Amino acid sequence: MITLHHLNRSRSKRVVWLLEELGSSYNLVRHDRDSQTNLAPKSLKDIHPLGKAPIIVEDDITLCESSTIMEYILDKEPSGKLRPAKNTPEYYQYLEWSHFAEGSLSLPLISTLFMGMEQRDGEQPLDAYIKKEITVDFAYIEDTLGAQEYFAGASFTAADIMMTISLEIAGHIGLLQNTPNISAYLKRVQQREAYIKAINFD
């Protein structure tokens, strides 16, 4: 059985959400952020050298990267739920968005989050790049969700779980002011029973 090492207010909500969607059995071990630094506690570093969440452990496999963990769980799922059939156009949309969440969107998103927290003295070297990335990425997301209901087409998939958590961070830092398609999408997916269970773990 999978053991999920869960950190409060973190991307590990993605994994809880996926496991709840699939109705899988799992052990959940809670770890709490340091109340001063907001960083992960040492207990996560004892499990994986990166010391971040989410981490899953099953038999001799230990993984620490949310999109990889999602693939691992889906590989074991006999129903084929939440991931389109391989070699279809939907599969490649699924793959693109699953990787986009951490591969492309994470840098401008987390940079914007931290830029909002620090004392700043004028423009910094990365500012123009981050601004450009935010504009391009959110236009692409908004257009996609205007054309189809979910990231991989007409059906909800694990790519939606990956993207929703990133979009929630975007909302938290004020990036969803002019994005009606994204806002309507979030309302839709946040009504899912498994999502509601996952947020209650925090």
Of 13 and 83, nearer to ligand GSH (C-beta) is: 13
Binding positions for ligand GSH, 81-120, rule CB under 6 A: 102
d(CA 66, CA 55): 8
Interaction between residue 22 and ligand GSH (CB under 6 A):
no
Of 7 and 186, nearer to ligand GSH (C-beta) is: 7
Interaction between residue 66 and ligand GSH (CB under 6 A):
yes
Binding positions for ligand GSH, 160-189, rule CB under 6 A: none
Of 37 and 177, nearer to ligand GSH (C-beta) is: 37
- Rounded to a whole number of angstroms, the minimum distance from the CB of residue 40 to ligand GSH is 4
Is-contact 121 179, C-beta < 8 A? no
For the chain, what's the residue count?
202
What is the number of other CB atoms lying within 10 angstroms of the CB of residue 179? 20
9 token code pair: 């207010």
Closest CA to 13 of 163, 144, 179: 163
2 token code pair: 């999978």
Interaction between residue 65 and ligand GSH (CB under 6 A):
yes
Structure-token match 């959940």, residue found: 28
Give the residues lining the site for ligand GSH (CB under 6 A).
7, 10-11, 39-40, 52-54, 65-66, 102
